[in-house]
Structure 1
Amino acid sequence: MRLLEGSTWQGRIFTGRWQNGAGTSYSAIEPATGQDLARVGQADTADVAAAGLRAQQAQRAWAALPAAERAVVLSRAAALFDEYADEVIEWVARESGGTRDKGRTEVEMSAALCREAAALATVSYGELLHSPLPRISMQRRTPVGVVAVISPFNFPLILSMRSVAPALALGNAVLLKPDPRTAVCGGVLIARIFEEAGLPAGLLHLLPGGAEVGSAMIDVPAVRVVSFTGSVAAGRAIGAQAAASFTQTHLELGGNSALVVFDDVDIEAAASCGATGNFTHAGQICMAVGRHLVHEAIYEDYLAVLGKKADALSVGDGFREDVALGPIIDQRQLDHTRDLVERSLAAGARLVAGGTHDGLFYRPTVLADCTADTPAYREEVFGPVACVRSFADLEEAVTLAADTEYGLALGILSNDLVTAMSVADRVPSGMVHINDQTYNYDANAPFGGTGSSGSSRVGGQRVNIDSFTETQWLTIRTTAPEYPF
């Protein structure tokens, strides 16, 4: 038996049962081949409003259950990701344009997120407070109610699950809108997993659609938290809209992360870090290395090794072939990548490797002699493009690394940990990795950035409790006191 066996889900949305959405269904497309993979149902604003009401009703009973019962559902979901791993890997590789290894990473991390969420359900959720009066005084965390999750195309399963799983574990209901380009692996698979895991109906709603569906979700009165991963422009619009109803937002937006490489490193190992952090999943990762800042003493050597690594990487159909990189997700993103590279070369950057494509398959590209005016250095590419620039000393390295509106991830390569810590202390960044590249993720660690990379965090027990519950002050007396009125 397969998780998506049969046609029950095809062309439908999920509201505790599979039903036709009011929007027009459409085809899920495989980027590597252009093939139609399935029909995806689409919601409209009326579907969103109805889902919000049902989620609000179902959430009350879910929150009232013993926490251990919620934990059981999350544990079952983790086991189902393991059981159906091969099928899920296939969907992720084909629909998101990734490789099988990338699909395996998404499956393993999603199972880990469910296990973390299962443990989260039963952690301590309050503490006793001293009181000057004869009463018990405490603060405790209570579910927010309904959480809206809006997830992107690049790692659709992980970036949906990292909010869906803890939100459910903590007693909330969820409205989920995956990116339309990856609505099966970012939504349908999740709905089926939780359906099989025994999640009560009405707690998880899958509402594929465009921006109007996401906007309608934010305006649902019962929605008190919006967890969004995507572009800076969309994040700003969501933040502004949510502010009108005092809805909390967790915004994980873009990045243009720096990898700072000092002259005391092993150049081969450093270039391996740089290539992995920059080219994995064709560079379509928010925390990908965007800027390689390399000490001038090893600059040309680093460029040579990075260029050779880029040239050696295979590009192709990651589902059917054993390749390192799959395609860019669609023509629009390919055009964006190509435009940035062409304008960067026109602005004076030197092409070391790549710069060509065959359809959506873009070669890993290395640009040297980049400056602050190089478009691919200044902007987030979201493609397999490495921009390399030299620095003379520690002060210049810090200045260059910090010279960006983003602040998502930072990598620092040096055998001198004092020097590395000095950079980490002085460059604003939500995540810092010393002697590693910028693309890192753990299910039990907080994730998020500063500046235009977003606000707030998700991930890890303490952060997830803060993100998906509210603080309540509660007092208890044995009998009501007598007041003078």
Structure 2
Amino acid sequence: MNLLRTSENSQPTTAQTGAQPRTPVLLFINGTWRPAASTHTFADINPTTRLSYATVADGNVSDIESAIAAAKAAQPAWEALPPAARSGFFYKAAEIFQSSQEKFVNALVEETGSGLGKAMFECSLIPLALREAAALTTRATGEILPSNIPGKVNTISRTAAGVVGVISPWNFPLYLSLRGFVYALALGNTAVLKPSEDSPISGGTILAELFEAAGLPSGVFNVVTCSRDKVKAVAAAMINDPRVARISFTGSTAVGREVATTSAAQFKRVVLELGGKNPVVVLDDADVDYAVNVAFFSAFLHQGQICMSADKIIVARNLYDSFVEKLIAKVSMFEPLEPSNPMAVIAPIINDRQLDRIDRLVKSARDAGATIHLGGEKLGPFYRPTVMTGVTRDMDIYREEIFGPVAFVMPADSEEEAIALANDTVYGLSSSIITGNATRGQILATQIEAGMVHVNDTCVHDEPHCPFGGMKASGWVGKWGASGAIEAFTEQRWISVQTVPRAFPF
């Protein structure tokens, strides 16, 4: 089954051409595929080969304004559809996705360097999110409240915010892009997506293909891709446009702060998922082998290039030596491989900027006295999985998000010290506690300053129906997921009706 139905204005898709997309890849605005207004393009780079994977339309401010205009025009009719009608598009998209999943997996592998396992894991979340969105269309319920005024009826309702501007990242591009807009669409909003320049296809145009195939009305969902050189101007145009009611952003804390500051000046609400310095806390009653498995998955899935990845592992003193020995042994089993290899767990780093940054953090810590037990070096586009000890608070690697296949292990002499180390960061996204006593873990979870704490499980975890988001410098205002979307993407309105004449004092 082809991903897209054929039509004159449809571009060739990965489903029709295989893993390598036919180029140039176009913008998707108001239900049509078009080149950038400037006709400029940019190279989408394969992280493994560091060669061009595709040529992509390089949108500019004019293109983002056209997309916003299309979304604004389409929004009233989209919101006016019966909930069941909106749901149908999401159910259809889920059906199409499952029948074409291999094409999405291939795009993630080729464009972002995702190992096959990670790509399949990411794709497993897509039908869940689409079906959760379908169920959300009837969940923005209202209230009838009593009044102190005789004969008055107070109704509280939820209406769509309007146009949602979405800026998404490259690391889990398919899921994080979808999550950024699909619940907003379910609630009657329309959207304009600007995917990362490192994943314009798997984080952008392939989703436009999916929803076009599902028959989504023109203008409801739009995608504008652009190069790194134009990101600031295009994003600023989206954020500053008064027709955009909400900004949905996933990315670094530094950029998120700029987004929040600019939006706040316009009293524009934002939903932010930002960086993390996520700990795995291993308590003194934990099963060491299980703790090592959790820590490995948490730290090294997708080469640690996940906002929830754990790079700080805090282990009770009585288990510390055994844990470090076993973690080193496990990590040593996984050398970097090309992502298309079915055995690939550690695949390439997304680009040279990130590769050099990881190496700088590791080498700086080593030079300051930390010990590298394994890894600690670049191998072409890869970074060898790295285990470190002896990291101290004065080192950059202790404070900064690494976003690479690097984990450092720290001992803790008490429960209190372990929690203090876990909280010793400006971030507060996700955390993990490993213990032989789940009740103990649940109690301690309330003391960790993070938006999400998972007891006896990895800190890299998401379920579409749960509220996803962080605290401190990891998130602000809204939550992702269906349960947070109603608050994030609707306006609460109070309408009162005076059913009998009211007596006024003058």
TM-score by length of 2: 0.92
> What is the CA deviation profile of residues 43-80 of structure 1, one whole-angstrom value per residue up to 9, with x for unaligned ones?
11111122212211110111111111111111111111
Note the residue ranges of structure 1 that are not aligned, 5 or more in a row: none
Q: Structure 2 residue aligned with 1:368, among 389, 399, 403?
A: 389
Distance 1:29 1:389 in 2: 37
Q: Structure 2 residue aligned with 1:299, among 291, 297, 320?
A: 320
Does the 8 A contact of 2:238 with 2:244 survive in 1? yes
SS in 2 for 1:309: helix
Aligned twin of 1:257: 278
Distance 1:73 1:478 in 2: 40
The alignment status of 1:69 with 2:104, answered yes or no, reads no
Distance 1:111 1:480 in 2: 53
Q: How many residues align?
A: 485
Distance 1:53 1:385 in 2: 44
Matches within 5 A, 1:278-427: 278-427=299-448
Q: Structure 2 residue aligned with 1:20, among 26, 35, 45?
A: 35
Distance 1:40 1:125 in 2: 41
> What is the CA deviation profile of residues 259-316 of structure 1, one whole-angstrom value per residue up to 9, with x for unaligned ones?
1111211111111111110000000001111211111111111111111111101321
Matches within 5 A, 1:98-109: 98-109=114-125
Matches within 5 A, 1:183-198: 183-198=200-215
Does the 8 A contact of 1:431 with 1:449 survive in 2? yes
Matches within 5 A, 1:163-242: 163-209=180-226, 210-242=231-263
Does the 8 A contact of 2:314 with 2:412 survive in 1? yes
Deviation at 1:483, TM superposition (A): 6.8
Does the 8 A contact of 2:23 with 2:54 survive in 1? no
Aligned twin of 2:8: none
The farther-off stretch of 303-312 and 32-41 is: 32-41
Aligned twin of 1:48: 64
The alignment status of 1:35 with 2:56, answered yes or no, reads no
The alignment status of 1:431 with 2:452, answered yes or no, reads yes
Distance 1:358 1:378 in 2: 25
Report the residue type matching 2:493 in the other structure. Q
Aligned twin of 1:129: 145
Distance 1:237 1:22 in 2: 27
Does the 8 A contact of 1:446 with 1:457 survive in 2? no
Report the residue type matching 1:432 in the other structure. V
> What is the CA deviation profile of residues 365-410 of structure 1, one whole-angstrom value per residue up to 9, with x for unaligned ones?
0001221123222211000000111110111111111110000011
Distance 1:107 1:247 in 2: 32
Aligned twin of 2:10: none
Distance 1:287 1:199 in 2: 32
Report the residue type matching 2:37 in the other structure. A
The alignment status of 1:79 with 2:95, answered yes or no, reads yes
Matches within 5 A, 1:110-149: 110-131=126-147, 132-149=149-166
Distance 1:312 1:375 in 2: 28
Deviation at 1:422, TM superposition (A): 3.9
Q: Matched residues, percent identical?
A: 37
In structure 2, relative to structure 1, the CA distance for the partners of 1:462 and 1:138 (3 Å cut) is farther
Deviation at 1:352, TM superposition (A): 1.2
Distance 2:284 2:144 in 1: 53
Distance 1:399 1:43 in 2: 46
Distance 1:124 1:158 in 2: 23
The farther-off stretch of 145-154 and 264-273 is: 264-273
Does the 8 A contact of 2:173 with 2:199 survive in 1? yes
The farther-off stretch of 66-75 and 459-468 is: 459-468
Distance 1:8 1:289 in 2: 37
> What is the CA deviation profile of residues 64-111 of structure 1, one whole-angstrom value per residue up to 9, with x for unaligned ones?
111111111111111111111011110011111101222222222111
Aligned twin of 2:7: none
The alignment status of 1:464 with 2:479, answered yes or no, reads no
SS in 2 for 1:398: helix
Aligned twin of 2:9: none
The farther-off stretch of 334-343 and 203-212 is: 203-212
Deviation at 1:198, TM superposition (A): 0.9
Matches within 5 A, 1:439-454: 439-454=460-475
The farther-off stretch of 429-438 and 29-38 is: 29-38
Deviation at 1:135, TM superposition (A): 3.7
SS in 1 for 2:271: strand
Distance 1:117 1:9 in 2: 32
SS in 2 for 1:387: strand
Deviation at 1:476, TM superposition (A): 3.5
Note the residue ranges of structure 2 that are not aligned, 5 or more in a row: 4-12
> What is the CA deviation profile of residues 220-279 of structure 1, one whole-angstrom value per residue up to 9, with x for unaligned ones?
111111010001110010001111111101111000011111121111111111111000
In structure 2, relative to structure 1, the CA distance for the partners of 1:350 and 1:245 (3 Å cut) is same
Does the 8 A contact of 2:287 with 2:435 survive in 1? no
Distance 2:396 2:254 in 1: 18
Distance 2:116 2:185 in 1: 28
Distance 2:339 2:46 in 1: 11
Does the 8 A contact of 2:70 with 2:219 survive in 1? yes
Does the 8 A contact of 2:177 with 2:195 survive in 1? yes
The farther-off stretch of 469-478 and 217-226 is: 469-478
Distance 1:130 1:168 in 2: 32
Does the 8 A contact of 1:207 with 1:213 survive in 2? no
Distance 1:128 1:114 in 2: 31
Distance 1:460 1:204 in 2: 18
> What is the CA deviation profile of residues 157-214 of structure 1, one whole-angstrom value per residue up to 9, with x for unaligned ones?
1111112111111111101000001000000111011111111101111011212111
